[in-house]
Amino acid sequence: MNEKMNLTMLTDFYEITMANGYFKSGMAEDIAYFDMFFRKIPEDGGFAIMAGLEQVIEYLDNLRFSEEDIEYLRGKGIFCEEFLDYLRNFEFVCDVWGIPEGTPIFPGEPLVTVRGPVMQAQFVETMILLLINHQSLIATKANRIVRAAKGRPVMEFGTRRAHGTAAAIYGARAAYIGGCAGTACTIADSMYGIVALGTMAHSWVQMFPDEYEAFKAYAEIYPDNCVLLVDTYNVLKSGVPAAIRVFKEMKPAKMGIRIDSGDVTYLTKKARKMLDDAGFKDCTIVISNSLDEYIIRDVILEGACIDSFGVGERLITAKSEPVFGGVYKLSALEKDGKMIPKIKISENVEKITNPGFKTVYRLYDNDTHKAIADVITLDSEEIPSGKEYEIFDPQNVWKRKKISNFYAENLRKQIFAGGKRVYESPSIDEIKSYCKEQVDALWEEMLRFENPHKYYVDLSKELWQLKHDLIEKHMNIKK
């Protein structure tokens, strides 16, 4: 990935054909609202984690069409010269709102909303989806793995298995937001200040006559952080004994061993006893090799003696469910200053969209400060904290609930106003801390990996009524 690369043309081709179509149809300046949201939580989990907003901001801040882009489009032979001139002088003028990174998010909630000339608001669809889908997926997977580790540090080790350079870098960033302690990806440390971690590979050990010589050389070079890879040949017969010998002779300030294969529970129990018997109770044990939240959970339950984990391919690729599935849909138009809500109707109920310009409130219990429910409202609405408030199930008029003894927080923040950035992004460490705080505000029943408690995302009465009026209107037209 090249930070200076112009990514304006990283888009689906139909975004450009539609833009040209809007231009030729005289609709270029019509004001449209689009929402980015997702429909299903990965792995049927209790929640997902919002990530990728900072990269969306960078993309929108740098939208421009170069002369090479114009010439390429001219060469396609389907775009009018007036449209190409428009692109040559392109200036982003949209309003953008988003939910901050690190926030637990749920299906149907508008994560990013774009308002502006339809040519522009439509054009940015691809990159918004690409960036939010990818990082939210990895941040969600990382958070699951970190929670499974029960307070033990988790290191992101997946660079070599990532799906390309950008996926490695942004994946490391998202994993850190989700709770990882550091990364093997050096450039992620350089770019974002995420601590780069790592010691040796099996090849280091193989380069020496035996494990003892390899470990001794490493301890001489890195006496302040001597973590030795002990499974090149035989963990218990040669690796751990050689590490103990080096620890006794060299007395490094920080000692550790890493095991990258074999029966994790058995090997760590045996290794722990050997280290303790030798007087090295402070020596840490690190485990890596094709781990995920389920394996980590199981080996801890089995009593494995592990101080930290290195997780690679199953984190950086979200191997168990590698698609986030966010979508970008038209929700409203403006005509002569009047809002015209739009809805997409489908025989699949979950694909029916929520119309209008909306925001999301999170309701918290006044006593426990735990999140009770999220409510999607029209932008003009406010939820009065502390008073009784009625919320409606998105799919069923008969399912409604009255809530009291709560306070409400509007999750949405304005990012751009008239194309100008008005949002100051938090630091990566602030985002990570915020993520932990927000996950801690969820009920424990939602943190289960299997059959988590369903969190309510309901609609305000006004939005629910608008949605069902539009459904009825379109169904009558269909008849």
Domain locations in the chain as residue ranges? 13-138+322-478, 150-316
pLDDT score of 1 = 47
- How many angstroms separate the CA atoms of 355 and 344, rounded? 8
The closest alpha carbon to 361, from 353, 371, 347, belongs to 371
The residues near 41 (Cβ < 8 Å, ≥ 6 apart) are 47, 48, 106, 107, 140
- How many angstroms separate the CA atoms of 158 and 317, rounded? 8
Helix (H) or strand (E) holding 83: helix 81-88
Helix (H) or strand (E) holding 167: helix 165-178
pLDDT score of 385 = 75
Please list the residues that pair with 38 across neighbouring strands.
326
Superfamily of domain 150-316: Aldolase class I (3.20.20.70)
Do 141 and 64 meet the contact criterion of CB atoms below 8 Å apart? no
- How many angstroms separate the CA atoms of 393 and 476, rounded? 23
Spell out the per-residue pLDDT of the chain, length 479, in tens: 444 678 999 999 999 999 999 999 999 999 999 999 999 999 999 999 999 999 999 999 999 999 999 999 999 999 999 999 999 999 999 999 999 999 999 999 999 999 999 999 999 999 999 999 999 999 999 999 999 999 999 999 999 999 999 999 999 999 999 999 999 999 999 999 999 999 999 999 999 999 999 999 999 999 999 999 999 999 999 999 999 999 999 999 999 999 999 999 999 999 999 999 999 999 999 999 899 999 999 999 999 999 999 999 999 999 999 999 999 999 999 998 899 999 999 888 888 999 999 999 999 999 999 999 999 999 999 998 777 888 887 766 556 788 889 999 999 999 999 999 999 999 999 999 999 999 999 999 999 999 999 999 999 999 999 999 999 998 776 54
Cβ neighbours of 194 (radius 10 Å): 26
The residues near 42 (Cβ < 8 Å, ≥ 6 apart) are 48, 137, 140, 141, 318, 321, 324
- How many angstroms separate the CA atoms of 402 and 391, rounded? 6
Give how far the C-alpha of residue 202 lies from the chain's centroid of Cα atoms, to the nearest Å.
32
C-alpha pair distances (Å), 153 with each of 180, 284, 311, 435: 7, 12, 11, 16
Measured torsion, CA atoms of residues 215, 218, 223, 224, in degrees rounded to the nearest 10: -100
Residue 159, class by beta-carbon neighbours within 10 Å (0-12 exposed, 13-18 middle, 19+ buried)? buried
pLDDT score of 4 = 60
Check if CATH label 3.30.450.270 holds for domain 13-138+322-478. no
Q: What is the pTM of this model?
A: 0.95
List the beta strands (DSSP E) in 41-94.
Answer: 48-49
C-alpha pair distances (Å), 315 with each of 104, 145, 232: 18, 8, 24
